[in-house]
Amino acid sequence: AHAEIQQELTRQVFEAESTFAHTMMARHPKAFASHVALDAVFFSRAGVLRGKAAVLASWQRFFEGPDAPFSWMPEQVEVLESATLALSSGPVRDPAGNQIATFNSIWRREPDGHWRVVFDRGCPVCESAEKK
Find, among 94, 102, 99, the residue nearest to 43 by Cα. Answer: 102
- What single letter denotes the amino acid at residue 48? V
Q: How far is 29 from 94, CA to CA, in rounded Å?
A: 19
The pTM (predicted TM-score) of the whole model is 0.91
Find, among 45, 50, 53, the residue nearest to 118 by Cα. Answer: 50
**Mean pLDDT in runs of 10 for the chain (132 residues)?**
92 98 97 98 94 97 96 97 96 97 97 97 69 44
